[in-house]
């Protein structure tokens, strides 16, 4: 099962007063800001803090092109939630990320992102172009998964 | 064509420095904040500024339950964009909103929201419950559409 | 009176639901985001939209170094407020801005900023250095003031 | 030394991409959002998570009335910073908070807040009134300090 083997990043988030709106629940754009940070956290986990990643690969970022989110249950200030994030698919110059936010172990928000590996155009530095995701980056996520020797071994055999 | 007859709100937005990220383009959670304001703008246009709407109908807000967005082209600080918003569907206790953000007349972001008409639960004021959207509110949007007599007449006949 | 002659930018701001916190009043960091936009608005008024200003003068921005604000009265979503902004002092490589936010003609927030004219260091592009504010930029603010011929004339005489 | 005895809350903050502006440094309103969370963290540390604090004492919040901040050095996404926060003064119905943000052990931002203990007016629930800070709340901060028996003892003697 490939999806089971995916590297997952878990981040605990304390919901702040300033993240909430007059209905006293998280204002949904703030969830998207959490998830943006969680995607960065995934790359940081494999050894690519965002600033270094941009420098190493000459990209301007990994901007979102597609977003879907379901808000199942509200969260409130002083709640502590956990976000589980994983990259579910690597494509040529884009990739898919899934975030699931749990409040007291109940799925409260689910979000799917498609992001592109993006660089400034050489012809016109004001333009942004998608670039192939470097093989090396994708492999960092696999290598990371393989750190658990028992599991990685059985995975190797399956291949 | 029902969708053509829908009341549309157009809002001009000046993109601010603080809405943009280190790639110098709008950080996508800010688009969602724009759209949240544009949905409120739709209700304000038919005579329901949000604060008054909450008081009149005893609701705590119109929280989002589902979101889809496509980010087609980036926008940058100092750009001026236009958002066209309309309610595309009324359901029993929820409704669908579509926002289209244009930058120099090119569609740059498209967003679909499903929101619920939500009140505090009487049994437990900390719980939020969906409530049927008042007929009166839906009619305000129709009434507004009918201000153009020629178009409203043909619509009446079709009914 | 020099301060009376200062170019003032007035901006009308509609306070959004998402700008407010669970106490149903503007969450104060959002006021600062308003004021940041209002400072940009001042430069835009004299013909320097921020993106063009950065390009023309080779700066990375006009970052804040000092901030003072008094929050006199709260504002709420659906309120419409007016911010009056002016540059109160030009120094060698910095300048002072005052913002006053009025809600129903009552002063609700007052804010004083000191900002620097900042460029990337030539020696180390990751470092930010202050630079002298170009004479030309300061003059744009004076020239603007002088557009009212009667007032500018009497000012000329006083000099 | 009273100030030395003050309860201090230290919070580690990972600076996110979305907290930064096109100059690639933290957009200053985000610092203020950090500090707002750090003030809440101080109360949480003595046993008053904000939601519980509001319920227990019947207040709507602890809104800011005065703010001063110095931005000494910029911070960037992927930086990890530490904020040290303490209440420096208790007044009748307000209190002063100082935040110092350190980046690699260098003071990067310093901020002083004056906040009020605020409740909805009984006469007009839309109005906000300051209330005396409960003795009990102030004592929680002292009690906390006294947990270190050696230090608390010498403090007792000095009184």
CA dihedral (C37, C39, C41, C46) in degrees, to 10, reads -160
Q: Angle CA(B73)–CA(B75)–CA(B78) in degrees, nearest 5?
A: 160
Query: Which residue of C27, C32, C33, C51 is the best one to mutate when testing the A interface, meaning the one whose CB has the most A CBs within 10 A?
Result: C27
Least confident of A11-20, A122-131, C91-100: A122-131
Q: Which residue of B has its CA nearest to C62?
A: B17
Between D145 and C102, residue with greater pLDDT: C102
Chain D hits for A16, CB-CB cut-off 8 Å, are 33, 36-37, 40
Cβ contact A15:D33 at 8 Å: no
| Sequence-distant (≥ 6) Cβ neighbours of residue A155 within 8 angstroms | A5, A145, A146
> What pLDDT, on a 0 to 100 scale, did the predictor assign at position D145?
57
Chain D hits for C58, CB-CB cut-off 8 Å, are none
Chain B hits for A32, CB-CB cut-off 8 Å, are 28-29, 32
| pLDDT above 70 (res D152) | no
Q: Which residue has the tokens 């120094």?
A: C91
> What pLDDT, on a 0 to 100 scale, did the predictor assign at position D91?
97
Q: What is the CA radius of gyration of chain D?
A: 17
| pLDDT above 50 (res A12) | yes
State whether residue A86 is helix, strand or coil.
strand
| pLDDT above 70 (res A105) | yes
Q: Which residues pair with D128 in a beta bridge?
A: D120
> What pLDDT, on a 0 to 100 scale, did the predictor assign at position D150?
45
Chain B hits for D18, CB-CB cut-off 8 Å, are 21, 27, 29
- Interface confidence: ipTM more than 0.85: yes
How many Å apart are CA C27 and CA A30, to the nearest integer? 14
> What pLDDT, on a 0 to 100 scale, did the predictor assign at position D159?
34
Closest to A61 (Cβ–Cβ): which among B23, B30, B33? Answer: B23
Q: Which residue of D has its CA nearest to C54?
A: D23
Query: Which residue of C37, C42, C48 is the best one to mutate when testing the B interface, meaning the one whose CB has the most B CBs within 10 A?
Result: C37
Query: CB contact, 8 Å: D67 with chain A?
Result: no
**Overall size of chain D counted in residues:** 159
Test B22 with D27 for CB contact under 8 angstroms.
no
Q: How far is C58 from chain D (nearest CA, A)?
A: 12
Q: Which residue of C has its CA nearest to A29?
A: C18
Between C129 and D151, residue with greater pLDDT: C129
| pLDDT above 80 (res B136) | yes
Test C16 with B40 for CB contact under 8 angstroms.
yes
| Sequence-distant (≥ 6) Cβ neighbours of residue A116 within 8 angstroms | A62, A63, A65, A93, A94, A130
**Phi and psi (nearest 5°) for B124?**
-140, 100
Q: Which residues pair with B81 in a beta bridge?
A: B13, B103
Query: CB contact, 8 Å: D61 with chain A?
Result: yes
Tell which C residues from 6 to 25 touch A, by Cβ distance under 8 Å. 17-18, 20-22, 24
pTM of the model: 0.90
Cβ contact D20:D26 at 8 Å: yes
Query: CB contact, 8 Å: A128 with chain B?
Result: yes
pLDDT per residue as tens digits for the range C129-147? 999 999 999 999 987 555 5
Reduced DSSP (H G I as helix, E B as strand, rest coil) percent helix, strand, coil of chain D, to 5: 35, 35, 30
| pLDDT above 60 (res B2) | no
For chain A, what percent of residues have pLDDT higher than 90?
84
| pLDDT above 90 (res A148) | no
Point out the residues of chain C with pLDDT beneath 50.
1-4, 148-159
> What pLDDT, on a 0 to 100 scale, did the predictor assign at position B141?
94
Average pLDDT over residues B23-36: 98
Per-residue confidence band for D6, with pLDDT thresholds at 50, 70 and 90? confident
Q: Angle CA(C31)–CA(C33)–CA(C37) in degrees, nearest 5?
A: 115
pLDDT per residue as tens digits for the range A18-43? 999 999 999 999 999 999 999 999 99
| pLDDT above 70 (res D4) | no
How many Å apart are CA B146 and CA B140, to the nearest integer? 10
How many Å apart are CA C113 and CA D44, to the nearest integer? 31
Q: Which residue of D has its CA nearest to C35?
A: D29
pLDDT per residue as tens digits for the range D69-78? 999 999 999 9
How many Å apart are CA C72 and CA C16, to the nearest integer? 19
> What pLDDT, on a 0 to 100 scale, did the predictor assign at position D151?
43
CA dihedral (D98, D102, D106, D111) in degrees, to 10, reads -30
Average pLDDT over residues D24-52: 98
Chain B hits for C33, CB-CB cut-off 8 Å, are 16, 18
Chain D hits for A52, CB-CB cut-off 8 Å, are 78
Closest to D70 (Cβ–Cβ): which among C32, C66, C69? Answer: C66
Test A51 with D16 for CB contact under 8 angstroms.
no
Neighbouring subunits of C (3+ Cβ pairs under 8 A): A, B, D
For chain A, what percent of residues have pLDDT higher than 70?
86
Per-residue confidence band for B11, with pLDDT thresholds at 50, 70 and 90? very high
> What pLDDT, on a 0 to 100 scale, did the predictor assign at position A144?
59
Closest to D18 (Cβ–Cβ): which among A16, A37, A49? Answer: A37
Closest to B18 (Cβ–Cβ): which among D17, D21, D24? Answer: D21
List the structure tokens of B106.
């090119």
> What pLDDT, on a 0 to 100 scale, did the predictor assign at position B144?
59
| Sequence-distant (≥ 6) Cβ neighbours of residue D125 within 8 angstroms | none
> What pLDDT, on a 0 to 100 scale, did the predictor assign at position A5?
54
Closest to A40 (Cβ–Cβ): which among D17, D36, D52? Answer: D17
| pLDDT above 50 (res A93) | yes
How many Å apart are CA D108 and CA D82, to the nearest integer? 10
Cβ contact A46:A111 at 8 Å: no
Test C51 with B18 for CB contact under 8 angstroms.
no
- Give me the total of CB pairs closer than 8 Å, taking one residue from chain A and one from chain C: 24
pLDDT per residue as tens digits for the range B64-123? 999 999 999 999 999 999 999 999 999 999 999 999 999 999 999 999 999 999 999 999
Least confident of A2-6, A154-158, C48-52, D115-119: A154-158
Closest to C76 (Cβ–Cβ): which among B17, B51, B77? Answer: B51
Per-residue confidence band for A149, with pLDDT thresholds at 50, 70 and 90? very low
| Sequence-distant (≥ 6) Cβ neighbours of residue A142 within 8 angstroms | none
Chain D hits for B20, CB-CB cut-off 8 Å, are 21-22
What integer best gives the mean pLDDT of chain A? 90
Per-residue confidence band for B152, with pLDDT thresholds at 50, 70 and 90? very low
H-helix or E-strand spanning residue C94: strand C94-103
> What pLDDT, on a 0 to 100 scale, did the predictor assign at position B114?
98
List the structure tokens of C139.
């003059």
For chain D, what percent of residues have pLDDT higher than 70?
86
Per-residue confidence band for A155, with pLDDT thresholds at 50, 70 and 90? very low
Chain D hits for C72, CB-CB cut-off 8 Å, are 65
Per-residue confidence band for B5, with pLDDT thresholds at 50, 70 and 90? low
> What pLDDT, on a 0 to 100 scale, did the predictor assign at position D20?
98
Query: CB contact, 8 Å: D61 with chain C?
Result: yes
pLDDT per residue as tens digits for the range B43-77? 999 999 999 999 999 999 999 999 999 999 999 99
| pLDDT above 70 (res B146) | no
Pick the closest to residue A99 from A22, A33, A19, A5 (CA basis): A33
**Phi and psi (nearest 5°) for D6?**
-60, 140
Q: Which residue of D has its CA nearest to C74?
A: D128
Query: Phi-psi bin for C125: left (phi > 0), alpha (psi -120 to 50), beta?
Result: alpha
Distance linking the first and last C-alpha atoms of chain D: 11
Q: Is A21 one of the catalytic residues?
A: yes
List the structure tokens of B5.
């007859």
**Phi and psi (nearest 5°) for D150?**
-60, -50
Test A22 with B68 for CB contact under 8 angstroms.
no
Kindly tell me the burial class for residue B83, based on how many C-beta atoms sit within 10 Å of its own C-beta (0-12, 13-18, 19 or more): buried
Cβ contact D13:D37 at 8 Å: no
CA–CA distance from D134 to each of A20, D51, D117 (Å)? 26, 17, 9
Pick the closest to residue D73 from D33, D101, D98, D32 (CA basis): D101
């Amino acid at each position: 099962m490939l999806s089971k083997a995916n590297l997952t990043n878990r981040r605990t988030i304390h919901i702040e007063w300033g993240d909430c709106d007059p209905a006293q629940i998280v204002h949904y754009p703030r969830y998207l800001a959490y998830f943006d940070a969680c995607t960065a956290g995934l790359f940081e986990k494999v050894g690519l803090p965002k600033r270094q990643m941009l420098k190493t690969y000459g990209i301007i970022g990994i901007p979102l092109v597609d977003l879907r989110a379901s808000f199942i249950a509200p969260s409130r200030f002083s709640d502590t939630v956990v976000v589980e994030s994983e990259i579910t698919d690597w494509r040529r110059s884009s990739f898919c990320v899934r975030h699931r936010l749990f409040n007291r172990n109940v799925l409260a928000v689910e979000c799917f992102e498609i992001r592109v590996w993006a660089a400034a155009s050489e012809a016109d530095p004001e333009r942004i172009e998608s670039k192939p995701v470097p093989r090396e980056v994708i492999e960092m996520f696999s290598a990371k998964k393989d750190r658990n020797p028992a599991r990685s071994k059985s995975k190797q055999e399956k291949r």
